[in-house]
Amino acid sequence: MMSPAAVLKRAAPVLACIGLLAIWQAAALLLKNDSFPTAIEAIRAIPDILGDKEALINILASLRRMAMGFGIAVLFSIPLGLLMGRSRAVAAFFNPLLMVIYPVPKAALMPIIMLWLGVGDITKTLVIFLGVSLPVIYHSFEGAKAVEEKMLWSGAAMGLSSLQRLVRIVLPAALPEILTGCRTGLVLALITMITSEMIARQSGAGNILFNALDMGQYDTVFAMIIIVGAMGICLDAIFERIRARLVRWSEPQFDMPLSFS
């Protein structure tokens, strides 16, 4: 059984959503503006979009690019960040490069990338990759730097080579920090995905959104915003569950399994 407090805690995000939609509904009814549909109108437009095969293919294509960009970025950034955190030379080599790339909005690079690689999947995936990489590198770097030296010494005394120590000590020890970076990266992947499709309008969720905007189909625009937002919330929630499970050992309060929810 869940206690009332636990029920409230679980219901809080749902209540927040309902509250937000209610405010939206009230504001739209008050303003009576053509470009500001009510929440109910927007929600009604959602089944139309999700029922449309074309739109569905577009959204799935977006998700695929996002998954690719995110996946490649994580596979590339974690080893790089860990190496930077453990080797002064590697850090000194990559730091200036990353410092230059860091503040540049990745979407601003799109025109150049489009020029070189066209407006297809590669360009968009590359922009997502760039967006995700930096926070993951940064957090992996910080995590690796903070690994207690005596832990590595203990490993060395047991006969672990330096590569083994990186994989079997630095990686798990830095995992909480790495996953924090990945969580930021996941949200950034969604943002860059939509932005990239806004700039290179060819397919994808962002394309549907901005086409509808061009054509004045405002309930579709808002419906897409809801869909993209819901995608973000779901992905983040799923990721958070995985993260919490992987780094249970590091949580400050180790909660005992009181319920199996």
Partner 1 sequence: MKVVPSRSSEWVRPVTSQKPASAIIEIDRVSQVFQTSARKDHLALSNISLTVDEGAFVSILGPSGCGKSTLLYIVGGFVSPTSGVAKIKGQAITGPGPDRGPVFQEFALFPWKTVLGNVMYGPRQQGVRASEAEAQSRSLIEMVGLKGYENFYPKELSGGMKQRVALARTLAYHPEVLLMDEPFGALDAHTRTRLQNDLLNIWERDRKTVLFVTHSVDEAVFLSDKVVMMSKSPGRIRQVIDIDLPRPRRRNELLLDPRYQKYVVDIERMFDESDEVGASS
Contact residues toward partner 1 (CB under 8 A) are 148, 150-151, 153-154, 156-160, 169, 172-173, 175, 247, 249-250, 254
Q: Two tokens at 123?
A: 């360009």
Task: Kindly state the smallest distance separating residue 74's Cβ from partner 1, in Å.
Answer: 19
- Closer to partner 1 by CB, 100 or 256: give it: 256
Task: Kindly state the smallest distance separating residue 249's Cβ from partner 1, in Å.
Answer: 5
- Closer to partner 1 by CB, 9 or 248: give it: 248
Task: Kindly state the smallest distance separating residue 260's Cβ from partner 1, in Å.
Answer: 18
Cα diameter, the chain = 73
Task: Kindly state the smallest distance separating residue 218's Cβ from partner 1, in Å.
Answer: 50
Task: Kindly state the smallest distance separating residue 8's Cβ from partner 1, in Å.
Answer: 29
DSSP label at residue 35: T
Nearest residue to 205 (alpha-carbon basis) of 63, 13, 28: 63
- Closer to partner 1 by CB, 176 or 232: give it: 176
Backbone angles phi, psi at 200, to 5 degrees: -100, 85
The torsion of the CA quartet 48, 205, 184, 124, rounded to 10 degrees, works out to: 170
Task: Kindly state the smallest distance separating residue 148's Cβ from partner 1, in Å.
Answer: 6
Nearest residue to 77 (alpha-carbon basis) of 155, 165, 153, 186: 186
- Closer to partner 1 by CB, 3 or 250: give it: 250
For residue 203, what are the β-bridge partners? 201
- Closer to partner 1 by CB, 60 or 151: give it: 151
Count the Cβ atoms, other than its own, within 10 Å of residue 243: 17
Nearest residue to 182 (alpha-carbon basis) of 110, 81, 88, 101: 81
- Closer to partner 1 by CB, 97 or 258: give it: 258
Q: How far apart (Å, rounded) are the C-alpha atoms in residues 261 and 235? A: 19
Q: Two tokens at 118?
A: 């066209």
